[in-house]
Structure 1
Amino acid sequence: MNILITGVLGAALLVATITDLKSQKIHNWLTFPLMLTGLIAHTVHGGLDGLALSAGGFALGLGLMIVPFLMGMMGAGDVKLMAGIGAWLGVEATFTAFLFTCLAGGIYAIAVLLMNFAQFKAVMANLWGTFLRFLSTHKFDYSPVNTEQALPRLCYGVAIAVGTVGALILNFTQTGSVVVR
């Protein structure tokens, strides 16, 4: 089952990365089959326990990413991709993939901002001002960055791919399996 999971996720993450970089879109023709085949494969391989493992990972992947989506911070394709990954990995490995994705996304965002230093300075000044306002008023008052040009959009599918691969490697080195039951 490890080879199947690694192969399916590897192919899906490669396609998601390419399409996200090209068109800033992760297509439904990739994410919906990823979700469905994860649920089916685990059910066939592990019966109701496999279905529970897969459904739990699906729900966690969806749940963790829906809040940033509702706040307008990421696209629906990113949410569906993480839900599909969850359907293949189960709860524990999905949570690890999410944490690694957050780290990769943060590094990616800083790298993109550093490519335009003026925007980076504006973002850092805004964060510092927000922090100082919070210390003095004890209220969180976030004001958007005032820059002449819009902040760059991130292709978060790239961060999801890097985070998931990191989680697969970590889980495999620790347990000998990419899925933690």
Structure 2
Amino acid sequence: MLWLLFVTVHDFRQRRVPNWLVLAGAAVALAALAFGVQPFEVGWTSAFLGAGIGFGFLLLFYVLGLMGAGDVKFAGALGLWTGLSPLASIWIAASLLAGLHALACLALRRWPLAPRLAIFLSASPAPITGATPSGRARFIPYAAYLALATVAWMFWGRQS
């Protein structure tokens, strides 16, 4: 949970997820697997499938210039924690949240009722890290929404 909180705050504030944060989450996930204290009862096979599919699927969006590299790497590390089975529902929930974010940005651009909220939602990354392969700035913190969707899965999705 603490790792997900750090990712969420960092991504919302800076619109990027640093490598050290992704690597820390992946290292702790591997240690949890190695010592048999994985909290979601995920085995090695499911963890590596989750990491590979999480990374590989979102890599397509990075190649198309629609997503940042930190989002992709975070999805891979997240897959180590959750395994393969919950990834689809986490992606769907995160995508719905990201879609609501985009709609709120468009609405606030058209009807500037809350200028501070508009600035927060459309904050661009720092100039050094804002460069993307397509040259477009990314303003939706997708890793944060993946983390929030994972927290929701941890509390409600695992009940079934």
TM-score after normalising by structure 2: 0.73
The question of whether the paired residues in 1 share the 8 Å contact of 2:15 and 2:138 is answered with no
Provide the C-alpha distance between the structure 2 equivalents of 1:114 and 1:166, rounded to a whole number of angstroms.
Answer: 26
Provide the C-alpha distance between the structure 2 equivalents of 1:72 and 1:91, rounded to a whole number of angstroms.
Answer: 25
Aligned counterpart for 2:144 among listed residues 154, 158, 162:
158
Does the residue aligned with 1:91 lie in a helix, a strand or coil?
A: coil
Note the C-alpha offset of 1:101.
Answer: 1.1
Alpha-carbon spacing, 1:173–1:161, altered in 2? closer, same or farther (3 Å): same
Aligned counterpart for 1:28 among listed residues 1, 4, 19:
19
The code of the aligned residue for 2:58 comes to M
1:38-49 equivalences in 2 (<5 Å): 38-45=29-36
The question of whether the paired residues in 1 share the 8 Å contact of 2:7 and 2:17 is answered with yes
Deviation above 6 Å: which 4+ runs of structure 1?
none
Aligned residues between the structures: 133
The question of whether the paired residues in 1 share the 8 Å contact of 2:68 and 2:138 is answered with no
Aligned counterpart for 1:14 among listed residues 5, 17, 24:
5
The question of whether the paired residues in 1 share the 8 Å contact of 2:90 and 2:150 is answered with yes
Per the alignment, residue 64 of structure 2 pairs with 71
Is residue 108 of structure 1 aligned with residue 101 of structure 2?
Answer: yes
Note the C-alpha offset of 1:151.
Answer: 7.7
Provide the C-alpha distance between the structure 2 equivalents of 1:60 and 1:67, rounded to a whole number of angstroms.
Answer: 11
1:95-174 equivalences in 2 (<5 Å): 95-117=88-110, 153-174=139-160
Does the residue aligned with 2:16 lie in a helix, a strand or coil?
A: coil
Q: Deviations over 1:75-125 (max 9, x none)?
A: 11111111111100000022221121111111111112211117xxxxxxx
The code of the aligned residue for 1:12 comes to W
Instruction: Please state which structure has a larger fraction of its residues in helix.
Output: 1
The question of whether the paired residues in 1 share the 8 Å contact of 2:23 and 2:77 is answered with yes
Per the alignment, residue 135 of structure 1 pairs with none
Larger Rg: 1
Provide the C-alpha distance between the structure 1 equivalents of 2:84 and 2:147, rounded to a whole number of angstroms.
Answer: 17
CA RMSD of aligned residues (A): 2.4
The question of whether the paired residues in 2 share the 8 Å contact of 1:19 and 1:25 is answered with yes
Does the residue aligned with 2:85 lie in a helix, a strand or coil?
A: helix
Provide the C-alpha distance between the structure 2 equivalents of 1:161 and 1:18, rounded to a whole number of angstroms.
Answer: 10
Provide the C-alpha distance between the structure 2 equivalents of 1:53 and 1:43, rounded to a whole number of angstroms.
Answer: 14
